[in-house]
Structures are given as C-alpha cells and as structure tokens.
Structure 1
Amino acid sequence: MSSTPVGMSPPQRQPRRSSFRWWLSLPVLLVLGAVVAWSQMPGHGKETGGDSEHGSTASASKPGGENPEVEVIHPRKGGIERMTVQPGSVHSFERVDLYSMVSGYLKSQSVDIGSRIKKGDVLAEIDVPREKNAVEFAAAMLEQAKAKALQAEAKVDAMNAERESAVATVAQTESDIDRLVSSLRLAESQYERIRSLFERSAVPKSVVDENLNGVAAAKAAEKTARLTVQTAKAKLAGAGARVVQAKADVAEAQAAVRVAETQLDKARVDLSYAQILAPFDGVVTHRNFHPSAFVRAASGGGELPLLTVVRTDLMRVVVRIPDRDVVLTDAGDPAVVTIDGLQGREFRGKVSRISEAEDHQTRTMRVEIDLENPDRLLREGMYGRASIGLESLSERLTLPTACVLERSGKRDGVVQVVREGKVQRIKVELGADNGTLVEIDSGLNPDEDVVLRSNAVLEPGMTVSPKVSG
C-alpha cells in the first residue's frame, strides 16, 4: 500500500492525456448536430411520421404569408374516343384448292410454289384423249340431227303443196256441180216441153224418150260430181294431216338438234376441265403433282388438289372482339392494323364484316378488316394488333384522371375547383376512363378552374392563387 509523504501535494494529470480525450469526442458532437439540424428541416415531420398537422401548415404557407399557388386546368370538350386493341391474324382474301374434274395423266404444269398468276392463266393441263373423241362424236351427231331437221322441213313444204292441190281440186269439182245442176235443170225443162208437145201429138214418142234419157244423164253427172267433191275433200283432209305430221317431224328433228348441241357442249366442257385455269390474280402456295403423274378426278375419289392458290391483292385481318366491346362494334368502324413482322408498320382500313354472333367457348366475336395489299407486303399468317375505333369523339367534357380526388362506385367522383380564389370540392358524374383522361358527364361547367396539382395540402375554403396549366 503506497502513501503520500507528509508535506507533499498529490500528483497532477498530464495535460497531453486530457487533449487526446477531447479529440475523441469531436466526431460524436458533429453527428449529433447534423441529426438535430435535419430534424428541423421543413416537411421532416410529414416524411418521418411526426406531427402531420405541423407539416401541413408549413407546406401550405410560403415565406412572406403568400397564398399557395395551384395549377388549374379547364375541362376540354370532345370526349374520349373509345377503342379496342386486339390481336389480329392476316389471311388471304380468297384461297382456292384447284382439283381436276377429269381423270388422266398430267400433261404439263407451268407453275410452281411461289409463282405469280393472273386470272385466266393456264396453270396445268391433263391428257384426256377420251374427252377429245367425245367432242368429235358429239359434233358428228349434231350434223346428223341438223340434216334430219332439213329433211323434215322439206317434207313440210311438200305436204303443204299437196294440200294446196287438194284445195284446188275441191274448188274445181264444186264448180262442176254448179254447171251440172244447170244442165240438169235445162234438160228437165226441155223434157217437160217435149212431153207437152207429145200430149198434143205434136212430136213422136221417140223424141220424148230421148229427152227423158237426157234428164237421167244430167242427174247421173251431178251425182258423180258430188261424189268427186267428197273425194277431193277427203284428199284435202289427208293432205292437212300429213302437213301436221310433217311439222311434228320438224319439231322432233329440231329437238334432236338441240340434244346434240347439248351433248356437244357437255363434251366440250369435259374437255375444258383438262385445263386448270387461275381463278384470280394471286400466287401458288401448294402443289401435289408433277408432269406424267396420274390425276384422279375429284368426283372419282381424288382427294388431293393439283394446286392451291391464294389472292394477295386484298387481304383480310381476322380479329376476335371481347364481349364488352361487341355491342359497340359495327361494320365501317375505322381500324389501324400494326404488323409485328413489318417493324410495326401500320395499315389503315375499316371493319368490313362482323359475324353477329359470339363464340360460346371464348365469348368473342369474329370481325374482319379488309386491307389493300398492292405491294404484296402482307402475307398469309402474319400477326399483329388491330386498333378499332368503337365510338367517335363526342361533346362530353374531359379531364386528366389526376384531377379526380375520390371515386365512389363507377360513376361518382370528386374534383377540386377554384371559385373566386377559394378551393371548393364538387361532386361529378364520371364517364369513360382510358387511364389518362376521364369523361365528366355532369356536375362541371366548361369554364371551371379545376385543380390539377398543388405543392400544398388544400382544404375547402382555402384561399389560393390559381395558375392555368400551359
């Protein structure tokens, strides 16, 4: 145990050790000062969850006691153009599988996959010798039928001449009857006169007998003439019947000519099927046969087409419209199609046709947009997006969605307006909302100053300095 001698003072601390401890406490003092200064900055209470009321008061005021400045905007007329953007796939406007209607060997084929074709071009030809012979046979049968028709017409002329002769004979015999009747009357009159003379014994009986024979001869001649007339009329009737028969033969011959012409046309059509023609301007996309291959007719069990061709000057884009937009989609709606494979190139068109029915599985409706394709850039199977305008611009007022402070349900909202320099909250009826703009159906005038943004917390009745947004 140490002790201090009497009369001596205790030892003092060394000054160097005290200076060393002061420098150690300096960084701690600097940190504490920085924390205190940061906590006194404006808005710190709001950021750190401190006294929010104090922070609001600070943010709503400006140095010098000026009113807070707010940015306002006027509602704009025009409404929101409602659109639907859906995936779309490009299809050829027409696509045709070309089959053969006759069986035979493929004689030639002038096109291949990718060949450009024009309407009416001969794409392929099939060797069909039987159809060629059928055409020649039908042509010969037609010539034969025409010859028979000429014969029948000539027979009609002959029958008409025969009937005219019978008519003349009837007229002649009827005129003979008139002459013989006159002769009979003359003979009877002469007989009566002679008989009167005989009764007076003026003439002998032989003269009376001669005149009586004359009367009998006249009667016989008249009777013969009447029989001749009947015979002539019978011949006339027969001639008329033969004329009718001849005309019927003509009709039959002419019908035979038409049958022969039909058979010739059919044979020629069958022969024309040997040539496969392009139905429109387009391009060949598939082929299944090469020259010398046997091609079976489609009606005879042929399942593969010779060629498949598509029309490319006009394309159709197929779009599936969701249920919510179906009732708003109409033919003629404007459309813009953006094709991914063409670096987002846009093609403008209109809705050409709608199916008027939704698919029960997908709840979508098929819509088609026709697009002109003069440069042949659009091709079957391309994919992109179709933007279809469903409703055109209207007279409704619109505001930025940031102006709406509160929403209750789908239709009700609250916005802030500046009237006579003071903030007011009003209720409005909301319409369509595209995420950027919202339609105001009612509750707001076009000349209202609607608060867009402010650097202060605004309360109803607060006096502010409005500044119209540029």
Structure 2
Amino acid sequence: MSSTPVGMSSPQRQTRPKSFRWWLSLPVLLVLGVVVTWSQMSGHGEETGGHSKPGTAASALTADGAVPEVEVIHPRKGGIERVTVQPGSVHSFEAVDLYSMVSGYLKSQSVDIGSRVKKGDLLAEIDVPREKNAVELAAAMLDQAKAKALQAAAKVDAVDAERETAVATVSQTEADIDRLVSSLRLAESQYTRIKSLFERSAVPKSVVDENLNAVDAAKAAEKTARLTVQTAKAKLSGAVARVEQAKADVIEAQASVRVAETQLDKAKVDLGYANILAPFDGVVTRRNFHPGAFVRAATAGGELPLLTVVRTDLMRVVVRVPDRDVVLTNPGDPAVVTIDGVGTREFKGKVARIAESEDHQTRTMRVEIDLENPDRLLREGMYGRASIGLEALSERLTLPTACVLERSGKRQGVVQVVRDGKVERVKVELGADNGTLVEIDSGIKPDDAVVLRSNSVIEPGMTVSPKVSG
C-alpha cells in the first residue's frame, strides 16, 4: 500500500525532497569558504626575501582570551664539534719475541712471566762451549797475523837498507871509473913521451915496454870498473824490487790482521748471542723453556722464542675509522678513550699515526692513538671506545633541531622568529646536524629569538609573548 498523497504525481513527490536538501547544505558551504579565505589571508602571507609578510589579522587569542606564550632561544656561537666514536683495542707499543741465534742448553734464566725488566738486563744464558773456543782460536789467529805484519814491516826496513847499499856501491864504482880514466890518460901520455925518447935513443927499449904495459893495465882497470858499475846498478834494481815486494807483503799482512780481527769480532758476536738481553723496559709475558732444556737456534729451525717482552709504559689503541670519516682524520687530532674494564676513567691522547689507506673489505682505515700508561692500568688486549675529534668548534650559529620546521633539500630549512612581538617565518641555510643540534650558516643573527616550542598553534603574523628558554 503506497503512502503518496492523493492529487500529487510521483515525479513531483520525488523532486521536492532533493531540492529541499540542497538548500539546507548551501549555508554550510558558504561558511567553509569564508573560513578558508580568512586562513589564507592571515596564516599564509606572501614570503619575500626569506621573511613572511604579516597577515591581516593583528593577533590571535587563546580560548580564554590571553596572548599565546612561546618559548624562544637565541642561536649559540661555536658550531658543532664533529667527532667519530669507534671501538678500539689496546696493544702494547712494542712487543718482541726473543729467539736464540745459537743452539745449546739453557744454562740460566733469571726471569719468568710477569717479571719487570730494564733495558739491557740479562734475561737468559745459553751454554755454548764451541763458540767460546771459536773466540779463543780467532784471538790466537789475530796475534799470529799481527806478528807476521811486524815481520813484513821489518823486512821492508832490511831490503830498504840493501837498496841504499846498492845505491852507494853504484856511486862508488862510478867515481872509480873517473879515477881510472884519469890514470889511463896519464899512462898514455907517459908512454907517448917515453916512446919519443926511445926513438931518439934516449931511453932503453925496456922502459918503453914498461910504459906500454902501464897503459894496457889502465885500460883493463877502466873496463873492469865499468863492469862493476853495471853489476852495482843491477844489484840496485834488485834491491828496489825487493823493497816493493816487502811493502806489498806488509799490505798483505795488514789485511790478514783485519781479517783476523773480523773473525774474532764474529766469534764474539756468536758468543754474545748466548746472552739474551732485554731490548727495552717492559714486562715478560711469555716463557717457553726452563733451564736445562735444549734450545735450537732460529737459523737452525727453532720456532719458539725463549721469551716475549712487551713495553707497557706507552700503549697504542687501534681504531678502525669508517669511510665517511677517513678524509677528516689526521695525525694530531684529539682523542678520548674509555676502556670497559677500567670504568668511567677517560684516557686522553692524540692520533699518532694513520694508515692513509682503507681496507678494501671493511672500508675502514687503521688509526693508532698513543696513550701514556704510567700506572699500568692499560693491558694488552683490552677493549673500549675511542672518541676522535675530527673538526674543532667554529664560529657558526647552532640551534636545537626542534627549531627547524621545514626542510627543503639538504641545506635549506625554515624557522620561526619573534620580532617586535610577532611571529615571522625565516628561511635559513643549514649546516652540520648531529641529531640534537644543527648549524645555521645564514638567515638569522645571534640576537634573534627563535621559537623552540609553544603551548598552542601559532601562525606567521600572530602576536605572541616570548619567553627565553632556561
């Protein structure tokens, strides 16, 4: 049974309710349009040069009619100190495995694990009788070489004296030739004079023969003298050669002395290897033999060291710096190290050395921090954390990250600033951000009051009551 009134057609009955509902919704749409228009005019003024233009609304009140209160903060100078915090392991600054260079029985060992030693202390001694005999033999051969060198030097003196004698003999025989030449000339002159007298029958023939014999004798004497000179010169040449030979023998003997000295030094070095000395001040951390044990030389296949000594007055902390911080890490950067086993104590030092090369697998760079360890709290193998200062504080302004309302791109943002009691939106250029603070490179000044938080929603152009954050 239909409920339609009599006298009204069906289409008319359906159209009237729809038209009626449309007229009812029209006032609602008008109200929404007015609200939107007012919001656009008062809340989103045109921005010019990084600052917003105040809207037409002079102020906005809270529900109870009071001016909104906002908490503001002034930018702080100093920038953000960039640090990298990485795990680090403690290592001894120096660690040495002490091997034996000679084979023999361990004669004595005055230290054990944990013994503190000084540089040069005798730690262990190996019994090496063969090396002792080698030293004695080398010493005897050195004495022998020195004696031969003395003999060679004396021989030089002897042959040099022979050379001088030969020189004198040559000079003497040459002088004899001059005398004999003069005698020959005299004999020839007398013979000529006697012969002239004989021709005049003034002297007998026997006198002529005597003078002729005198001339022949003078000639023979001259000839003999000249042969004697040649013999003396030959002897002189031989003496000179023997002098040179003797000098060469001296050089050879001196070289033999040096060889013998080197052999003695080598023998002493080999014998010295039997004494194991501390290379620096430190502590013994490892012992592998006891007195009476046979120790094989490292050069003969010995694989175990007698002792291990480490330096503990200075330690090095090894840190692996990740790729993002590698370029900022340099020797001299300040570092603070905390060790899990020591509690909250901080050990301050500096980056001493960097590898300047990254590990291809981990993409990290080895960095070492040197730490003084006068009270010996730091031990080999300890583990902790190292905080390395990569960039020092600067003159840039910083704000809490909560002050930045909008971020466009990596370095652009917007903050709210209270000027003359009204809120303005200001574009700023952002710098480093550590999650708590952010650096502001430009856009605001140190005396600007930047909104940190408010107890109500605020819009640009609103009158507010700023309160500096404590």
TM-score range normalised by the length of the shorter chain: 0.7 to 0.9
Judge conservation of contact 1:74–1:449 (CA < 8 Å) in 2: yes
The answer for the alignment partner of 1:111 in structure 2 is: 111
Aligned pairs (5 A) from 1:18-33 = none
The answer for the alignment partner of 2:422 in structure 1 is: 422
Judge conservation of contact 2:166–2:233 (CA < 8 Å) in 1: yes
Judge conservation of contact 1:338–1:344 (CA < 8 Å) in 2: yes
The CA distance in 2 between the partners of 1:419 and 1:119, in whole Å, is 72
The answer for the alignment partner of 1:355 in structure 2 is: 355
The answer for the alignment partner of 1:329 in structure 2 is: 329
The answer for the alignment partner of 2:380 in structure 1 is: 380
2:171 is aligned with what amino acid? Answer: A
The answer for the alignment partner of 1:149 in structure 2 is: 149
The answer for the alignment partner of 2:23 in structure 1 is: none
Deviation of 1:465 (Å):
2.9
The answer for the alignment partner of 2:27 in structure 1 is: none
The CA distance in 2 between the partners of 1:278 and 1:345, in whole Å, is 32
The answer for the alignment partner of 1:8 in structure 2 is: none
The CA distance in 1 between the partners of 2:337 and 2:195, in whole Å, is 128
- Residue 343 (str. 1) matches residue 343 (str. 2): yes
Deviation of 1:85 (Å):
0.4
Q: Deviations over 1:202-250 (max 9, x none)?
A: 4444433333332222222111111111111111111111111111221
Gaps of 5+ in 2: 1-38, 44-56
- Residue 228 (str. 1) matches residue 234 (str. 2): no
Paired residue secondary structure (1:84): strand
Deviation of 1:60 (Å):
5.7
Deviation of 1:446 (Å):
2.8
Paired residue secondary structure (2:405): strand
Total equivalences in the alignment: 415
Stretch moving more, 277-286 or 191-200 = 191-200
The CA distance in 1 between the partners of 2:273 and 2:149, in whole Å, is 32
Judge conservation of contact 2:73–2:450 (CA < 8 Å) in 1: yes
Judge conservation of contact 2:86–2:387 (CA < 8 Å) in 1: yes
1:212 is aligned with what amino acid? Answer: L
- Residue 241 (str. 1) matches residue 269 (str. 2): no
Deviation of 1:424 (Å):
1.1
The answer for the alignment partner of 1:35 in structure 2 is: none
Paired residue secondary structure (2:87): strand
> Taking every aligned residue pair, what percent have the same amino acid on both sides?
86
Q: Deviations over 1:419-452 (max 9, x none)?
A: 2332111111111111221111222233322222
Structure 1 stretches of 4+ with a deviation exceeding 6 A read none
Deviation of 1:407 (Å):
1.5
Judge conservation of contact 1:60–1:456 (CA < 8 Å) in 2: no
Deviation of 1:142 (Å):
1.2
Paired residue secondary structure (1:61): coil
The CA distance in 2 between the partners of 1:192 and 1:440, in whole Å, is 137
The answer for the alignment partner of 1:368 in structure 2 is: 368
The answer for the alignment partner of 1:218 in structure 2 is: 218
Deviation of 1:103 (Å):
0.9
Q: Deviations over 1:283-303 (max 9, x none)?
A: 111111111111111111111
Stretch moving more, 394-403 or 211-220 = 211-220
The answer for the alignment partner of 2:434 in structure 1 is: 434
Deviation of 1:354 (Å):
0.6
The answer for the alignment partner of 2:269 in structure 1 is: 269
1:172 is aligned with what amino acid? Answer: Q
The answer for the alignment partner of 1:310 in structure 2 is: 310
2:100 is aligned with what amino acid? Answer: S
The CA distance in 2 between the partners of 1:115 and 1:123, in whole Å, is 10
The answer for the alignment partner of 2:191 in structure 1 is: 191
Paired residue secondary structure (1:161): helix
Q: Deviations over 1:102-130 (max 9, x none)?
A: 11111111111111111111111111111
Judge conservation of contact 2:60–2:463 (CA < 8 Å) in 1: no
Deviation of 1:409 (Å):
2.9
Paired residue secondary structure (2:317): strand
Paired residue secondary structure (1:292): coil
Judge conservation of contact 2:429–2:441 (CA < 8 Å) in 1: yes
1:431 is aligned with what amino acid? Answer: G
The CA distance in 2 between the partners of 1:275 and 1:346, in whole Å, is 41
The answer for the alignment partner of 1:181 in structure 2 is: 181
The CA distance in 2 between the partners of 1:192 and 1:436, in whole Å, is 141
The CA distance in 1 between the partners of 2:453 and 2:281, in whole Å, is 60
The answer for the alignment partner of 2:13 in structure 1 is: none
**Structure 1 length-normalised TM:** 0.84
Deviation of 1:65 (Å):
4.7
The answer for the alignment partner of 1:14 in structure 2 is: none
1:306 is aligned with what amino acid? Answer: L
Deviation of 1:401 (Å):
1.2
Deviation of 1:63 (Å):
8.0
Deviation of 1:262 (Å):
1.2
Gaps of 5+ in 1: 1-52
Q: Deviations over 1:164-185 (max 9, x none)?
A: 1111111111111111122222
Aligned pairs (5 A) from 1:79-158 = 79-158=79-158
The CA distance in 2 between the partners of 1:348 and 1:129, in whole Å, is 52
The CA distance in 2 between the partners of 1:454 and 1:201, in whole Å, is 172
The CA distance in 2 between the partners of 1:353 and 1:202, in whole Å, is 124
- Residue 207 (str. 1) matches residue 202 (str. 2): no
Stretch moving more, 183-192 or 251-260 = 183-192
Stretch moving more, 250-259 or 282-291 = 250-259
Paired residue secondary structure (1:163): helix
Judge conservation of contact 1:106–1:295 (CA < 8 Å) in 2: yes
Aligned CA distance change for structure 1 residues 218 and 422 (closer, same or farther; 3 Å): same
- Residue 297 (str. 1) matches residue 321 (str. 2): no
The CA distance in 1 between the partners of 2:444 and 2:186, in whole Å, is 131
The answer for the alignment partner of 1:453 in structure 2 is: 453
Aligned pairs (5 A) from 1:279-290 = 279-290=279-290
Aligned CA distance change for structure 1 residues 342 and 204 (closer, same or farther; 3 Å): same
Deviation of 1:198 (Å):
4.1
1:386 is aligned with what amino acid? Answer: A
Paired residue secondary structure (1:378): coil
The CA distance in 2 between the partners of 1:205 and 1:334, in whole Å, is 130
Paired residue secondary structure (2:360): coil
**Structure 2 length-normalised TM:** 0.84
Paired residue secondary structure (1:279): coil
Paired residue secondary structure (1:146): helix
- Residue 78 (str. 1) matches residue 78 (str. 2): yes
- Residue 410 (str. 1) matches residue 422 (str. 2): no
1:321 is aligned with what amino acid? Answer: V
Paired residue secondary structure (1:149): helix
The CA distance in 1 between the partners of 2:280 and 2:222, in whole Å, is 86
